[in-house]
Structure 1
Amino acid sequence: MRRRLIFAFVSMAVMIIALYGVPRAVMTAELVQSSQTQRVDRMAILLSALVSERERVGPVTADLFKSLLRPEDGVTYVGADGDTLHVGATADGDDLQKTVEVKDGGTLTVTRSGSYVTQLVSDAVTPVIWIGVLLLFVSVIGAFLLGRNLSRPFVKLAGTARDLGAGGLSSEPEKYRFPEAAAIDRALRDSADTLERRIRREHEFAANASHQLRTPITAVRLELEDLSLWGETPPVVREQLEHAVQEIDRLADAITQLLALARGEAAAESACAPLAQTIHGAAERWRQHANATGRSIRTDDLDDALGSAPAAASQILDVLLHNAIKHGRGTITITAVRRAEYVTVQVADEGPRPSGNSIFQRRPEQRTATSGEGIGLALSAELAESLGGHLLLEGDETTRFSLILPARD
């Protein structure tokens, strides 16, 4: 901005100086030229009158002209009898000259050196040029000072915006001489207050929701544990109750991880489990659901070389399997391979591949939705990023999701 302001002011100054100085210089040069031409004309008339008076009393000699001529002037007198008398500077092609007729016959020509006239024009125009240069220099200095003063508020506003982004906006507002800059500063500070209140409400909501959910979840878990410990409970029912307790524990872990993600904490710092076990567990959880729709889930041979993964990886696999069952076709295949420092887990089905990667982006209507419909893949991508990995949509014709995670031994 400062450069553009300086360039604009200097350009305006140059334009004004040119519009004033060029016509002024031309007028000065023409005035000098006209003045010298008039002087030569008057001198020719005066000398012709002197020659007429002198011819009445005697011959015209060079002494008559020498006392009246300057070094840059010259006179040529041609008498009635044809005699020529030249006094002073020799005439040149660019000299000013004036020829008049003498009263008793003959002609008189007066010349003035062109170089002398040029020098007079230069002497008259030079001050105009120096004034223009001085004005241009002052304009440049003024443009720098004015540009700095005008841009300083916006530099401060940029710092205020950076502080707003970093969350360290000072409470003391800046004092600006320009009302526009003061208005922008007030708008930024009002926006900062609004954002702070909104973020505080969201954090309070997340904490309250977590607390309100944990209490009934804990109560249900205790009741299920009590039922599983009753002697009258059949073994088959006890097995289902223990499975339900495990799912409740997973639900509590998911709430904890989502709360940590909302607070900006790293999900990778949560407890880890063997990745092969996590994959098999996710496949078993969704196998009955897939079989109910006439489909199947197949997992390749997995070994312990895959290492471990944070608990959030289980949530991502649940979303991918649910998405494959709901939107995909055919057999669902889960594969995993470790390459150097990363592990790639792929969940594929035989359905057509969605176009683009917009399925990982939250649409505007989903940002304020309360049902949670359509945000699973977007949330999974964010969880993968928090784990230091990526969630990608691959494949050419069929759907294949790849979860890339850092390898953990």
Structure 2
Amino acid sequence: MYKPKEGGRENIAVLHPKHGPTYPESPLKERISFTQVPPNMDSPSIQISDVRMTDEGEYICVVASYPGGNKQGITQLVMLTKPQNSASALTVEAGRNPTVVARCQSHNGRPEAQIRWVTTADGNASTSSQPGQDNTVSVSSEYRLAPTAADNGKDISCVVSHRTQTSPESFQMKLNVLYAPQVKIVGYDNNWYVGRTNVLLTCQATGNPVPTTVLWKSMTGAMPDTVQIKDNQLKVLKVDEAVNTTFVCEVKNRIGTGREKVTALVREPSVNPSNAGVVAAVVIGSLLALLLVAALVAVLMTRNRRRQQGYRADGSADLKARIFGGGKNGTGAAGNNNAPIYVYDDGSAHQGEKNNHNGNGRLEVVAATPTAQDILLSGELDDAERRKFDELEEEERYDRFAGGGAAPILQLRPAGEQHEMIGDYLDDDMESQRDGSVISRTAVYV
């Protein structure tokens, strides 16, 4: 017996032990039969050929016996229909209003198919279904968003799941968004200096559809003579004041026009960074050389000052005896002009011995106790000495000057050099002073 979803039971096949199989009038009469030939009461199974969606329903097997009565078993026949699935991405133009960018469909499936979307695009899906023929169902789903240039080329997938499929069916697509060119100028490094050569600007543009034309312009009017343009590249052969302008790159496609500009600022020539190390080395070397020269000059000036003050310049044997003022005396106290006299002795100097003149031309001088006049001349009088000096009579103060006037009181010369003297001095004995005067280097004046 067969019982459809809507309606009552009706006989479709009968098997009698004596009369055999019988097939009453029903929607299945021409398509139903017992599986065994001849039919067997031990296994009265049936089969349906050319199955249709209308064959779905309950099938009841009823066994009638006497005197046991009737017994039955029921099975449910569910008809499945594999749907026809498809999906596509729509070509849309970038804009602010949400629009359908992709569509997915599952036609004539039983039961109803399930559709879901997988994408990184920020949008929403809407799904609808409608009944089809033979109790099937068709499902349609659309994905909507406000398309932008950034959405162009993004991946989007429609995934359809159904009982007749061993696994979900996936349709992978890319969004197709039309937009006007987006332009970017690269190559300007903000280091255009006068005389720089072969600087290059490149106009990079993206658009859907692909841009067809590229046009370079100058905001100041005509393009400078040193500029060469080829396709999307602008090349400046030599930077000068003429390229101190704003360059504009304009790109077009059938959707619209995009443009970008860059202002070139021409600078004065700068030091080549590759020579910075050399320049630094030269500067440092020059400073070191100046320091060395300054040190050498300081040493020479110090030695010269010491020579003028009476110190020995070196230990050579021909150094003439000199009187030194302002030094220290033998006891370490502050000295004066009465400090010990160092005397020429073939390279040897003696101090603190008696005056002695021998036949070898050796003159030895003993430091005398300083007098008031000596202290006065030395410029180092303390208060007690000054008072003592003031108490002296005028004649006593200067009596030591009266005898010789300005003549030297001591001539430090070996006896063999006397014939070279001019008057009381040698011709090479005089030495110029800073104040313009000339004095003897070997004579002592008081």
Please identify the structure whose Cα radius of gyration is greater: 2
TM-score interval w.r.t. the shorter chain? under 0.3
TM, length-normalised to structure 1:
0.24
Choose between structure 1 and 2: higher strand proportion: 2
